[in-house]
Amino acid sequence: MKAFLSIKKNNKLIIKQPARSFVIAFPALLARQFINDEDITIQSTEGTPRTEGISSCPFYCCSPGGFGYDVQMGNNGSYGDYQPVDYCGVVIGSDNTAVDPDNYSLNTQIRSGDTTGKILYCGTSVHSLTYEAVGDTGSFKILGIFKNISGASIDVKEVGVYATGNAANNTYINFCILRDVISTISLADGEYLEVEYTISIAS
């Protein structure tokens, strides 16, 4: 299994590199699914060891209407607008400390918002699995989009992916499955950033 990282600034490709930074929660969640062992302890993005059984969607990384969106109820009681959140899906941060396999979160996440030091999280989409006969490769993409509306420049130095799992007690827990340190990107007010991971498996 491999991961590849591409980053665009204002729709211009500025970073294209292998991502070698699956962190400990990724194999832990995968093992949990294979052996159905509720006693596996996995560190959440809050830094809290969790041992609840992850009963469904252990790698949910937000698609419209999913765990990566806050649901605003409509007047008729049905689900209304979905608001992207910053605790699930592609995330970005401002710390370039080297990646450690035991990382359970970004070192310094840039949170979603429109004030100084924050950036608007516009949502994460997960593209369906594709298969290429040449090389027997299957892959899918996780794409996060961000816009700086803070009124000041923001430096992005780390990116990653937070996944959400549904625990046995019907609570949702977030885990960091990828973290990469990148060359600093300065994003001026009004500028966009697209961060895309391609996850692939080849025979």
Give the per-residue SS3 of 17-80: EEECCECCHHHHHHHHHHHCCCCCCEECCCCCEECCCEEEEEEECCCCCCCCEEEEECCCCCEE
Give the confidence band of 196 by pLDDT, cuts at 50, 70, 90: very high
Q: Which residue has the higher pLDDT, 40 or 113?
A: 113
What is the chain's mean pLDDT, rounded?
A: 82
Q: For the residues 120-130, what does the mean pLDDT come to? A: 84
Q: Which amino acid, 41?
A: T
Reported as a single tens digit per residue, the pLDDT across 21-53 is: 899 888 888 877 777 655 677 888 988 887 666
pTM, whole model, 2 decimals?
0.86
Reported as a single tens digit per residue, the pLDDT across 51-91 is: 666 555 567 776 444 444 444 333 333 334 456 788 889 99
The DSSP output letter for 127 is: P
String of b and e for 59-92 (b: at least 16 CB within 10 Å)? bbbbbeebbbbeeeeeeeeeeeebebbbbbbbbb
- The conformational region for residue 65 under phi > 0 = left, psi -120 to 50 = alpha, else beta, is left
Reported as a single tens digit per residue, the pLDDT across 141-190 is: 899 999 999 999 999 999 999 988 766 666 778 899 999 999 999 999 99
Q: What percent of the chain has pLDDT over 70?
A: 79
Q: Which residues neighbour 35 within 8 Å (Cβ) at sequence distance 6 or greater? A: none
CA-based angle 54:123:63, to the nearest 5?
45
Nearest C-alpha neighbor of 151 from the set 114, 102, 178: 114
Question: What residue spans define the domains of the chain?
Answer: 2-202
Contact of 98 with 107, CB cutoff 8 Å:
no
